[in-house]
Amino acid sequence: MTSPKRYDRIAFVASAGAEAQAALAQLVGLYGNHDPADADVVVALGGDGLMLQTLHQHMRSGKPIYGMHRGTVGFLMNEFSAHDLRARLAAAKESVIHPLLMRATDVHGAVHLHHAINEVALFRQTHQAARLRILIDERERMPELIADGILVATPAGSTAYNLSAQGPILPINAALLALTPISAFRPRRWRGALLPNTAYVVIEVLEGDKRPVAAVADHDEARDVRRVEVLSDKTISMRMLFDPGHSLEERILSEQFGH
């Protein structure tokens, strides 16, 4: 039988809100605060925005991240409690997620490389709809999509913008990506596609001078793009910790039944 993991050295990070800052002061007083480089675990206090920021900052560290809800939206967070945090961390269940890698080439030929934990999205930059060509694994699947845009979402991001755009909710351990149009005009009834997470997605911008398009990986934006390549980066594994019964798997399952 394996012994429980010990999380003696905790690094706390918090959003700027008063609630998160008060929680930070309380927890640091109880458990101390270590530099993230020396810590066994990073505990994020805030909402989903802070969790995404923390995951990005520690993407390559291999350190587990445990969030507690002291912000606005807390889908990725556990309930807040200052009581017996080390025992709670030791009992937590781990979900491993992989980010998307976006390679966007703009009108000047410059290449923009960014990682996304939730989604890579393309948006029209002006009043005119975007015209896009979609290739999957170097095979043309849609010669022309006219829409406000399109996004590629991970399972972790499937309940975020993807869900707002009427995309499917994916179980966290599903080896899938969601390809979801944003306000499709033609083909009007196309609802998107489920792709294996091994897929190499290429989106080419047609008439880019007349209908400019921006590409966004979570919060990193490239404007006036001509070609956007997206794939799941299996070289990076991020470890998220959730209380038993409140895992990301359970939250995503519950979301599909309206809870």
What residue ranges define each of the domains in the chain, with the CATH number in brackets? 10-97+236-255 (3.40.50.10330), 100-232 (2.60.200.30)
Question: What average pLDDT does the segment 127-136 reach?
Answer: 97
Mean pLDDT score of the chain, rounded to an integer?
93
- Report pTM: 0.86
Residue type, 259: H
Question: What average pLDDT does the segment 160-167 reach?
Answer: 93
**Which entry of 48, 84, 218, 224 is annotated as an active-site residue?**
48
Query: What is the DSSP secondary structure assignment for residue 15, as one 8-state letter?
Result: -
pLDDT digits (tens, 9 = 90+) for 9-62: 999 999 999 999 999 999 999 999 999 999 999 999 999 889 999 999 999 999
Written as six digits, the tokens of 107 are: 């009108």
pLDDT at 171: 81
Q: Hey, what's the torsion of the CAs at 144, 146, 147, 150, to 10 degrees?
A: 10
Picking from 99-103, 112-116, 191-195, 245-249, which range would have the lowest pLDDT averaged per residue? Answer: 245-249
Q: Annotated binding residues, as ranges?
A: 48-49, 118-119, 148, 156, 159-164
Tell me, rounded to whole angstroms, the distance of Cα 104 from its chain centroid: 18
In the residue annotation, 209 being an active-site residue is answered as no
Q: Annotated binding residues for NAD(+), as ranges?
A: 48-49, 118-119, 148, 156, 159-164
Give the integer Cα–Cα distance in Å for 115 and 219. 10
pLDDT at 1: 41
